[in-house]
Amino acid sequence: MAYKDEQLQEEKVFKDPVHRYVHVRDRVIWDLIATPEFQRLRRIKQLGTTNITFHGAEHSRFNHSLGVYEIVRRIINNFQDRPHWNNDQRLLCMCAALLHDLGHGPFSHSFEKVFKLDHEYFTQAIILGDTFVNKVLERVSPGFAQEVADVIAKTHSNKLVVSLISSQIDADRMDYLQRDAYFTGVSYGHFDMERILRVMRPIEDQVVIKSSGMHAVEDYIMSRYQMYWQVYFHPVTRSAEVILTKILHRAKHLYEADYNFKLKPIHFLSFFTGDVSLEEYLKLDESIVHYYFQLWQEEDDKILSDLCERFMNRRLFKYVEFNPNKQISDLMRLMQLFKDAGIDPDYYLVVDSSSDLPYDFYRPGEEEERLPIHLLMPNGSLKELSRHSDIVESISGKKRTDHKLYFPKDFLQKIDDEKIVQEITGILYGKERE
C-alpha cells in the first residue's frame, strides 16, 4: 500500500478537553506528530503572556495544532460525496491543518516585532527544508511538501482547500476561540461548532454556510468579538507584552553597544544580527527565553535587570487611557520629564495600540477587500453574512479601537524632585497624585 494511504492498525486518540478526542488513523499524520519539529510546539504557549492575567492559559501550540487538525478531519468527513469536494485533497488538508503553526517561536508576536521576523517564513522553511517534517511529506509524493506549504501560505491554486484552513470562519479560528476560552476560564468564546460543521458547504472556491445555520455563526461572531476585547486585548497582558518587547530591545541594544553580558546571549546572537538560520530558530523555545530572563536579573545593566525582574515576578507597568489626538503634547512633555527624572522613556513610557496585536474581528469590508462569510441561500445565491444578520451587522459596524500609555508607577514614587513628580502625576492622572 502506498505510504499516503497507509492506515494505522488501530485508531489512535489524544484526549482533548475541547474536542473530547483527537482521532488519528493515517500513518502520515501519526508520523508528522512524532517529528521533533512538531513536538517542539509543546514548548511554545498558544497565548504567550496571557497566562500572566489568566493563570490557566498555559496551553501550547501543540494542543491547538492537534485541535485544528481534528476540526478539519471532521469537516472532511461531512464533505464526503458533496458536489465540489474532491476527496483526493483529504490528506493535503489534514497535513496543512496540523502544520499551519509550525513556524511559531516563543512569544512570537514580540520576537517578530523586535527582530523583524515572520513565523510564516519559518513555517515554510521547516516544511521545505532539511527537516524530519519534510522527509515525511516527501515520502507521500515528491512535491507534496510544496503543496502543503502553499496551502498554509494561501497561495495554493485550490481556494476551497485554502479556505478550510484560513478564512473568516476556518478551523484555525474555531479551535483557538474555544481552546482559549476553555483554558482562560472565561465564559465567552463558546459556540455550537457541531452545528456550524453540519451547515458548512463546499462550493467551487470557498466554504459557505447554509443559511439555516446563520444563528450558529452569529454565536461564533459574538464569541470572536468578546474574546477579542476580554482576553486577547486584556490591558494587563499587554503590559507584560510591553515589558517583554522592551527586554528584547534592551538586550539587542546592549549587544550592539558591546556590553559585556555576565550570561552571554548565545541563543540570541543570530536574532541580534538579523541572520537567523532555521537550526538556530528551532533551538529557541520558551524555556530558553525564561532561562535568560531569570539570569539577566543579575546583570549590571540596570534597565535590563529591572525589566527582567518585572517580567519574571509580574511587577508590571501600570497604564492610563491615552488619546494621541488630544494628548500628543502631553506625551512629549512626559518624555522630557521622565528624562529629567533619570528614567529612560524609550523603555519606560510606551504607547500601546489595539492595532499592535495580531487578532481581528469580523468585518464584511468592501467588495474584493477580503473574502467575507457567505450564506448559501435556498435559491442557491450567496449573501454576505452581515447583510442578512442584524446581530452581525451591528457588531461589525462598530469600530472600537484603543490606546494605552504604560509606565512603571513604582518609579514615580522614587523620584526626589517633588515638582517633577507633581507634573508627571498631574498629566497622567489629572491634577491629584494617587
Partner 1 sequence: MLENHAKLMRFFSEAKEVTGRKKLQKMVYILQSFGIPFEEKFQFHFYGPYSEELMLRVEELCNLGFIHEEKEVKSNYFQYHYTLTNEGTDFLNQFSVEMPNCLESIELLQGKSSRFLELVSTMLYFKDLPKDDVEAKVLAVKPKQKYSEEEMAEAWNLIGELAERLH
Residues contributing to the site for partner 1 (CB under 8 A): 112, 118, 120, 153-157, 159, 205-206, 323-325, 328-329, 332, 350-351, 353-355, 358, 360, 363, 365-371, 399-401, 403
Closest to partner 1 by CB, 265 vs 365, is 365
Helices (H) and strands (E) in the chain, counts: 23, 9
Q: Shortest distance, CB of residue 248 to partner 1, whole angstroms?
A: 16
Q: Shortest distance, CB of residue 395 to partner 1, whole angstroms?
A: 14
Closest to partner 1 by CB, 60 vs 123, is 123
Closest to partner 1 by CB, 116 vs 431, is 116
Closest to partner 1 by CB, 140 vs 350, is 350
How many C-beta atoms lie closer than 10 Å to residue 90's C-beta? 19
Q: Shortest distance, CB of residue 113 to partner 1, whole angstroms?
A: 8
3-state secondary structure of 207: strand
How far is 203 from 158, CA to CA, in rounded Å? 11
Reference 150, options 197, 76, 100; nearest CA is: 100
CB contact at 8 A, 374 and 383: yes
CB contact at 8 A, 114 and 290: no
Closest to partner 1 by CB, 9 vs 380, is 380
Q: Shortest distance, CB of residue 127 to partner 1, whole angstroms?
A: 16
Closest to partner 1 by CB, 56 vs 397, is 397
How far is 292 from 268, CA to CA, in rounded Å? 10
Closest to partner 1 by CB, 153 vs 295, is 153
Closest to partner 1 by CB, 22 vs 247, is 247
Q: Shortest distance, CB of residue 193 to partner 1, whole angstroms?
A: 23
Q: Shortest distance, CB of residue 375 to partner 1, whole angstroms?
A: 15
How far is 429 from 434, CA to CA, in rounded Å? 8
Cβ neighbours of residue 48 closer than 8 Å, sequence gap 6 or more: 107, 108, 109, 110, 241
Closest to partner 1 by CB, 302 vs 399, is 399
Reference 4, options 22, 31, 28; nearest CA is: 28
How far is 294 from 308, CA to CA, in rounded Å? 7
Amino acid in the structure at residue 308: C
Q: Shortest distance, CB of residue 325 to partner 1, whole angstroms?
A: 5
How far is 252 from 269, CA to CA, in rounded Å? 9
Q: Shortest distance, CB of residue 68 to partner 1, whole angstroms?
A: 17
The DSSP annotation for 14-64 comes to: EEETTTEEEEEEEHHHHHHHTSHHHHGGGGSBTTGGGGGTSTT---BHHHH
Closest to partner 1 by CB, 136 vs 427, is 427
Q: Shortest distance, CB of residue 41 to partner 1, whole angstroms?
A: 20
Q: Shortest distance, CB of residue 410 to partner 1, whole angstroms?
A: 21
Give, as one character, the DSSP assignment of residue 262. S
How far is 174 from 6, CA to CA, in rounded Å? 29
Pairing of strands 207-210, 374-376: parallel
